[in-house]
Structure 1
Amino acid sequence: MPLPTVIVPGYLESAIAYLPLEKSLQQLGFPTATVPLRRRDWFPTVGGKSVAPILRLLDQTVKKILQESQATQINLIGHSAGGWISRIYLGEKPYSARGELNPSVWNAHPQVATLITLGTPHISQERWTRWNLDFVTNNYPGAFYQNVHYVCIAGKTIFGQRRPGSWFAYSSYQLTCGQGNTWGDGITPITAAHLEGAENLVIEGVRHSPRSPGIWYGSPEPLKVWVKYLI
């Protein structure tokens, strides 16, 4: 029987945006739940603050679906920031906001069989995200846990250029990887969406967000490319 699957929304996204993906996975036989985030749940994390509130909700969701399914492991799907937040969740290092007195340790990697990241910026030059991403990179570089299968999906859709129609992509890519003239999904450049040691894939024509016009990573056709990696 397929393992239960948990979806971790991207930054400032609510769970409702992932309902079509959740239903698609359920129809394929994967018991699936999305971390029940609302947009306002992200507000305490704005400005590079601790993402512990998101991690707590993720942990509650994982424990609930494990109990309901009587399984011992899950698949984890992290979209955008949800991907690097998931990597913190896997780890055993104390995580806290700067100056926080009671750091948390999630140590969830034994419970995760597969981690799939969709358009996740695993690196960033942007000063508000550097503290969190540096924590991940320094403590859990690459596909860190050998018992977890890491699959990192990037989109090749928009080439960043300083001209109308691709200026936003150029700016976003530059903030993320330091280079604007490169390919990506309109938000995350390919080079930032991949991890050393992971199964790294590129899907052409997908846009970053479930709210983007056209197709995104969780649309039916792109889903066919990566769903086979779920257990």
Structure 2
Amino acid sequence: MLPTVILPGYLESAIAYLTLEKFLQQQGFPTVTVPLRRRDWLPTVGGRSMIPILRQLDRVVKEMLAKYGTSQINLIGHSAGGWISRIYLGEKPYVIHGDVMEDANLWFAHPYIASLTTLGTPHTSLERWTRKNLDFVNHGYPGAFYANVRYVCVAGKSVFGQRRRGSWLAYSSYKLTCGVGNTWGDGITPINAAHLEGANNLIIEGVKHSPRSPGIWYGSPVVAPEWVQYLL
């Protein structure tokens, strides 16, 4: 079983993934979550650079490679952590915000990544404050871009977006993400935005977006085996 790294979702802290981390360890995967705190995301708010997150991700990945004497790991990205991970895999310098030089060495990590699993990741967006980052990702690395990486994209099907009480948040979020509000998703990310062409695309019934959501989410032990089986 390869060592595994979890990258939290936007504005989320590592502690929210403790149950998933322990579950993966019980399945035989040495697992650690990038130790982010909510305040670590503040410099990225408003569509700004993800370099602060990439720095922490890169440090943890390098530590796991060294600790276990392996050449590759599994990488799991929840929500925005999924598309940030795609920046990390890619060889194109992520210098679009002008905050690092091309030799920053915080990308071109695909040789170290055996599998990338994204959980409820909005791989597309119409939000103006995320377009700059996501356009960089999707223009540079469309779909399951690297043949040497196993891509697994997991979508949840639990909330149908509608303009009525109880599903208005889902409707608004889906519409901002894919342009259509009346569709299925996990309450935040619509199914069609959570998948990538060429990936192992999964849909799990009843799954909510966040580890803090009531009910089950992607990392709940009752549903996690459906995607954990694809880890290397």
Is residue 183 of structure 1 aligned with residue 203 of structure 2?
no
Q: Which residue of 2 aligns with 1:118?
A: 119
The TM-score normalised by the length of structure 2 is 0.97
Q: Which residue of 2 aligns with 1:144?
A: 145
Distance 1:165 1:93 in 2: 42
- How far apart are 1:101 and its partner, in Å? 5.6
1:1-231 matches, within 5 Å, as: 2-100=1-99, 102-103=101-102, 104-105=104-105, 106-231=107-232
3-state DSSP class of the match of 2:165? Answer: coil
Map Cα deviations across residues 46-90 of structure 1 (whole Å, 9 max, x no partner). 000000000010000001111111111000000000000000000
The TM-score normalised by the length of structure 1 is 0.98
- How far apart are 1:100 and its partner, in Å? 3.5
Map Cα deviations across residues 21-61 of structure 1 (whole Å, 9 max, x no partner). 00000011100010010000000000000000000100000
Q: Which runs of 5+ in 1 are unaligned?
A: none
8 A Cα contact 1:160 1:169, kept in partner: yes
Distance 1:200 1:217 in 2: 14
State the AA in 2 paired with 1:189: P
CA RMSD of aligned residues (A): 0.9
- How far apart are 1:102 and its partner, in Å? 1.7
Map Cα deviations across residues 122-151 of structure 1 (whole Å, 9 max, x no partner). 000000100000000000000000000000
- How far apart are 1:97 and its partner, in Å? 4.2
Distance 1:171 1:83 in 2: 21
Map Cα deviations across residues 136-181 of structure 1 (whole Å, 9 max, x no partner). 0000000000000000000010000000000000000000000000
- How far apart are 1:98 and its partner, in Å? 2.6
8 A Cα contact 1:52 1:96, kept in partner: no
3-state DSSP class of the match of 1:56? Answer: helix
Alignment size in residue pairs = 230
3-state DSSP class of the match of 1:37? Answer: coil
Distance 1:81 1:95 in 2: 16
